[in-house]
Structure 1
Amino acid sequence: MLFNCALIDDCVECTSSETPTRIKIPIQDILCIIPPHEGHDSGHSLVFFNSDSSSLNEPPNLKRIHLRTVPSKLVPDHLMLDTPTFHNSNKPIRLHFIISTASGTGTAKLLFSHIFQPLLSYLELDFYEVHETQSSQTITDLCHSLFIPQAEAGNEQTIVLLSGDGGLCDVIDAFYSSAKNIRATPNIALFPAGTGNAMASSTGLVAHHRAALMALLCGKPTPVPVFAATFSPGARYVQAGQTQSPTASELPCRKVYGGVVASWGLHAALVADSDTSDYRRFGAERFRMAANELLYPSDGSESHRYRGSVTLFGGNGQGQGNTRQAETLESKEHMYVLATLVSNLEKDFMISPESKPLDGSLRVIRFGPLPPERVMQVLSLAYQNGQHIQDSHVMYREVEGFRIGFDEPEGRWRRVCIDGRVIMIEEGGWFEVQKEKRHLLRILLSAPRE
């Protein structure tokens, strides 16, 4: 069935002369217009999000209609003239979809069936593989068994992550920990399905489903900045919600690579405490719930003062070679110490307003012990376009790295967070973060049209 198409206000009205059918589509719900395929005479295809068919808990369906005419005003922003990023004229790039079944509230499978399967069908593409996570190790195992060997063999590949930040972090850590000689840098397309979605929020991929899909179809591959976190002997991964010293069965941890955040203090504690099934069902609200318990302990005690020494290295590009300019902060008590490569930890939580998408700048946000009401006030300002950095109690600085030495007898206060992973440092230990010089992965970002 072919439709005639006309622009009316902010909508497209499509009518069929064959049957009395009329479709009204908001322009913001149009993904793209696909030109006729060679050997087909069905006209252009208009692909759009059918939001009316989705419930509050489900993503919209992707639909298609064939057009007899295409309004000229739609062409500049919607006509897909370029070959998709994951395909070239010589051979198809290996396309992998990773469906993280445990991310966020478990919507990744619906996103694939509602959006990606129809899109691949409309594009007549069938050279892709789908991988569903079976455990927390699935993505890491895929990297070691499939993605890294392909990259080392020089085979181009695009990895579509239907996950939260954890999926990206698993790929980063696996590649930087194990890859030896990358001959073809993989492209990563993010489709946010997690709780915080920090990387996707910071790179403009959460405003609408269209943004993430257009990044996959015709995005610009951009190197992913990475940091390396090194730990003193005895540091171990801890399980979700664990607050005591790790058991002998916990995995040791000496070095972890990340691309989002490294923290100690309130942020690390609330990430660790909220990572349970009881909390996860509340989505992003779980972080606020855990923060409330940490700031207003149910036993009536005051919120914890985190004790240790914080040393900052080479701010604003200072320090060359093996010589690092170091500054140890005078205060030995802290409430919040966080370093990040991104601007937003959630869609509206702008923790580092001066950070630009994938600019490689590592910035530290730190403040000391404050009354709970003041802590909540400072953090609430981050939801107001990052105004917390203007608070006199907040230190905000670009650095090359930092080091923390712990002076905490109780294990729960020595937990640190690296991109959602929780690591507990042994008593008297330390951890250090440094920017990584290698670039082994690229993220697809929506490219502005000329």
Structure 2
Amino acid sequence: MADAENKPEPTPLAIFRPNNLNNDDDGSDYVLLAGSAASPPTLEVSNLQQPISESLWSLIIDPANLPPHLKLPASQIHVIISNNSGLKTAQGYYDGLLSPLLSYLRVSHTTHVTSSPTSIAEFTTQIASNGLENLIILLSGDTGVTEYINAVPTTSEKITICVLPLGTANAFASAHGLGLKALLHGKPTLFPTFTATFSPGSRENGEPLKESLTKTSSIRGCVVASYGFHASIVGGSETPEYRKHGINKFKMVAEEVMKGTFFGGAGNGFQPYNATVKGVEAVKGTKHSYLMLALVDRMEPTFVISPKSRDGQVWALYTGDISGKDLIDTLIMGAYAGGKHVEHEIVGYEESKGFRIENMEDEEPWKRWICVDGRFVEVPKEEGWAEVKVEGGFHVLA
């Protein structure tokens, strides 16, 4: 009995009258579609008697009159399954929940499964080439979203993406409350993006970035661009040594950076990062601990890093030459306390259109990393620079 009482409840997705779909009314008032609490989840179909709870009214749909994005032909509704995102549960999520849900609602679609790090970009480019209205349902984490926006034309208004968060952190989906409900009840919403441009010789994951005719290279993002402590943690967690540890990888890297032992450091504790930062009024001097351009208010449900980064607003967060203890106690713990850190005197916080970083003097390569939505780029020490500008946007079901 105790196990039954403690069993997690399924997540309600949609409610409708059964005779609106199959013309086989069995006497029940409504049908409830829900996602089970299993891992991976499955589709649960059950009868629901009136009266319906007010909390569920927003889930009522008419399967005979679905929203426009679900009325497109199968050749214009695309599901991209990212095999390597997070704990690699995307295929199970599709098989157990998404595919049965679409079939139940008689929504035909085309399925794509990734086979390489470039698959999402290749699929997106191919889909965009038809020049038609398209819906892309992306089963992936933040890196997959970044791969998508770097492949979709910046001026495109014909492609809408539905993000089903199946990565490790899922900051973009967490901040905007995205998930399967948005597919059924959401509307295309414009979200801002930024472009991070890097000097010649910059490298991602040890490989040269693809350069334009001007010999610079750029990456678009929609979550955060950062330099300093945050960039080190994100970059370190994506290396083979730490990636295999799942969500614990962030904590493990943070502890090493705080002790000064990260990537073979001498153990001298946390040391500031040395560079020239332009474009953020709060920046003073050339020693920095934390710099972030935030397009979202939180990196996870309880980690509110930039409480004012909502409804398309973009804010910059900055700390100068502070100790590792102050960084953790004030900024990190303040973010977990609902964003209280932005009220502290050691934290600079202002609305922003971007920044530029030059003269990165640190010998350690990981101290010259720039984070772009989970990707990390190493800027060369000699005459290296990075510039981040807020520009453009993309349409997401929200």
> Which bin holds the TM-score, normalised by the shorter protein?
0.7 to 0.9
Q: How does 1:386-401 map to 2 (within 5 A)?
A: 386-401=339-354
Residue 315 of structure 2 is aligned to residue 334 of structure 1: no
Q: How does 1:285-296 map to 2 (within 5 A)?
A: 285-296=248-259
* 1:4 corresponds to: none
Q: Structure 1 stretch 167-176 or stretch 279-288: which is displaced more?
A: 279-288
Q: CA deviation at 1:363?
A: 1.0
* 2:24 corresponds to: 41
Q: CA deviation at 1:276?
A: 3.1
Aligned pair partner of 1:98 in 66, 69, 80? 80
Q: CA deviation at 1:72?
A: 4.3
* 2:320 corresponds to: 368
| TM-score, reference length from structure 1 | 0.77
* 1:60 corresponds to: 41
| C-alpha distance 189-266 of structure 1, shift in aligned 2 (>3 A) | same
Q: How does 1:90-239 map to 2 (within 5 A)?
A: 94-125=76-107, 127-144=108-125, 146-150=126-130, 153=131, 155-176=132-153, 182=156, 184-205=157-178, 212-239=179-206
Equivalents in 1 of 2:89, 2:116: separation in Å?
A: 16
Q: CA deviation at 1:396?
A: 0.9
Query: 1:188-230: per-residue Cα shift (whole Å, max 9, x none)?
Result: 111111111111111113xxxxxx2221012021012011112
Q: CA deviation at 1:66?
A: 4.8
* 2:59 corresponds to: 78
Q: CA deviation at 1:123?
A: 0.8
Aligned pair partner of 2:389 in 431, 434, 445? 434
Q: CA deviation at 1:279?
A: 2.4
Equivalents in 2 of 1:101, 1:91: separation in Å?
A: 25
Other structure's SS at 1:113 match: helix
Other structure's SS at 1:343 match: coil
Q: How does 1:212-361 map to 2 (within 5 A)?
A: 212-239=179-206, 251-252=210-211, 254-298=217-261, 299-312=266-279, 327=281, 329-356=283-310, 359-361=311-313
Equivalents in 2 of 1:277, 1:269: separation in Å?
A: 14
Q: Is the 8 A contact 1:365 1:397 kept in 2?
A: yes
Equivalents in 2 of 1:266, 1:361: separation in Å?
A: 23
Q: CA deviation at 1:311?
A: 1.1
Q: Is the 8 A contact 2:282 2:349 kept in 1?
A: no
* 1:242 corresponds to: none
Query: 1:259-307: per-residue Cα shift (whole Å, max 9, x none)?
Result: 1111111111111111134423433321121011011123321323211
Equivalents in 1 of 2:52, 2:294: separation in Å?
A: 43
Aligned length: 375
Q: CA deviation at 1:166?
A: 0.8
Partner AA of 2:183 in structure 1? L
Q: Is the 8 A contact 1:47 1:65 kept in 2?
A: yes
Equivalents in 2 of 1:444, 1:92: separation in Å?
A: 18
Runs of 4+ in 1 over 6 A off after TM superposition: 25-28
Aligned pair partner of 1:380 in 333, 336, 342? 333
Other structure's SS at 1:284 match: helix
Structure possessing the higher radius of gyration over alpha carbons: 1
Equivalents in 2 of 1:70, 1:117: separation in Å?
A: 28
Equivalents in 1 of 2:8, 2:367: separation in Å?
A: 50
Partner AA of 2:106 in structure 1? E
Q: CA deviation at 1:385?
A: 0.6
Other structure's SS at 2:285 match: coil
Query: 1:99-151: per-residue Cα shift (whole Å, max 9, x none)?
Result: 111111111112111210221121122x211111111110111122x22213x
Partner AA of 1:255 in structure 2? S
* 1:29 corresponds to: 11
* 1:12 corresponds to: none
Equivalents in 1 of 2:164, 2:74: separation in Å?
A: 21
Q: Which runs of 5+ in 2 are unaligned?
A: 1-6
Partner AA of 1:117 in structure 2? S
Q: CA deviation at 1:349?
A: 1.2
Equivalents in 2 of 1:353, 1:105: separation in Å?
A: 29
Q: CA deviation at 1:381?
A: 1.6
Q: Is the 8 A contact 1:34 1:79 kept in 2?
A: yes
| TM-score, reference length from structure 2 | 0.86
Equivalents in 2 of 1:29, 1:171: separation in Å?
A: 27
Other structure's SS at 2:192 match: coil
Aligned pair partner of 1:419 in 361, 366, 373? 373
Partner AA of 1:256 in structure 2? I
Question: What is the aligned-residue RMSD (CA, Å)?
Answer: 2.5
Equivalents in 1 of 2:22, 2:175: separation in Å?
A: 41
Query: 1:353-406: per-residue Cα shift (whole Å, max 9, x none)?
Result: 1121xx222211111232222222121221111111122211111111211112
Q: Is the 8 A contact 2:14 2:34 kept in 1?
A: yes
Q: Is the 8 A contact 2:172 2:296 kept in 1?
A: yes
Q: Is the 8 A contact 1:85 1:218 kept in 2?
A: no
Partner AA of 2:277 in structure 1? V
What percentage of aligned pairs have identical amino acids? Answer: 34
Q: Is the 8 A contact 1:105 1:281 kept in 2?
A: no
Equivalents in 2 of 1:59, 1:139: separation in Å?
A: 22
Q: Is the 8 A contact 2:283 2:318 kept in 1?
A: no
Equivalents in 2 of 1:77, 1:272: separation in Å?
A: 40
